[in-house]
Structure formats: structure tokens, C-alpha cells
Amino acid sequence: MNAATPSSACLALVKRFEGFRAEPLALGDGRWLLGHGHVSNAAPAQLIGETEAEFLLKEDLEEVCQVLRGAVPNGLTQNQFDALASFGFSIGVEALERSDVLALVSEGRIGEAAAALETWRVSGASGSLAAVLVRRREAEKAMLLADETIAPAASVLLRPTREAPAEPGAPTPLPPPQPQKSDVLGLAALGVLGLLLIAMGVTGADDDNGVAYLVFAAPGAVGVAMSVYYLLKKTVEAV
């Protein structure tokens, strides 16, 4: 089922990490922070209650929801929509629109989008990892992947390695070329044929004054040498 509005689970997640502020807090740019992460241009005349704070939160989330509806024409599940709504509220609408996370989701690459979520954990104010952002991204990632069907894989067959952080804008490295099974079998067959020719040349060398050696053994030696060379080359390229 495609979702178009945040659920109560989304509201609960945002409230958990935004906290609640009944008394407005003056920000450095002249605006005021109150409720569940709501920013007001004017100072409120009185303290804010939970009901009004939730109303303002829903209004603030609507701008994020509009971006999600436009960016993902095929729609999102409720869990996916909720996770991205929380994420968009956290980083801001403009950042969401140009984020790698939204671009990957719009292409249906949910697993990669979930991994990209983890890169949005650095505080813009301090430039360092913020514990609350780490925990928030973990919660959003779990929600984003909640509807994904994951096939089990034994660790001995799918042993993970640490992913190296990519430089901004760097292209994704291509995996090293792997030798094709048919190529390996063909080269092995060439080597076996070469050995047979050498054996035939050596066996008949005494009977015809070396003619058989030249006819069979020499091409056989070339075949063996080519087989060994190209098999070693493919092995080195695959490492």
C-alpha cells in the first residue's frame, strides 16, 4: 500500500529525537524554537502545550511530504514514507531534495538508500559525529528496511569486509575482472594438448631422425607455454 502522509509511528519517532520544548528558546538569527523542533519567526505570547506542538509538527512535516510525493511517483510503503519524512525533517527540505538518499529511493534502490542514511550523522555546527544523529539514523534505517525481504545468508558464504569511505564525487570502483570458466577450461585444454604433442614428438624422434620432434614437440611446447602464460595472467588480473 502506498503512503502519502506520516503515521503515528513517524510522529512518535520525530518527537523522540526532537524532544519537547514548552517554553520558546531564542535562536541566534532572531527566530524561536518551540514544541517538537518547530521554528517560529515571532516570539509566542505563551507557553505551548503538547496538542498544539503536535499540530505544528504535522504542518512542518507536510512540506517534507510534498517533496516525497513528487520525488517517488511509484509511491512508498508506510514504513518507507515515515522513515524518509523523519529524515527530511531532520536535514531540511532543501537538503532532502538534493540528497543521495532521496535519489536512490526514487530509483527503487532502497538498500543503498538505507546505507546512504548513515552518512548523514555529522553535526553542521561542530563538524563531528553527534550521538543523537547516529541513533536517529539507525532508527530511520530500520524503519526504511522494515518491509524489505532479506534472504538469509550463512556468514561463511558471505563474509563481510569493512567498506572503505568514498571520497565525495568519486566514481564507484569497478570490481576486478574475474576469469570466465570457459576461458580457463580452454587454456587448460591447450596445455594438455601441448603435452600430448610433446610426448608424440619425443616418442617418434628416434624413428625418423627428429622429424616427428619438429612436427609435434615444437608446436606442443608453444601450446604449453601459451597455456601457462595466459592462465597466470588471468590469475594476476583477478587478484
Residues annotated as part of the active site: 18
**Radius of gyration (Cα) for the chain, nearest Å?**
32
Three-state DSSP at 97 gives helix
Q: Are 102 and 71 in contact (CB under 8 A)?
A: yes
Q: What does the alpha-carbon distance between residue 19 and residue 9 come to, in Å, rounded to a whole number?
A: 15
Q: Return the residue matching grid coordinates 512540506.
A: 63
Q: How many CB atoms lie within 10 A of CB 195?
A: 15
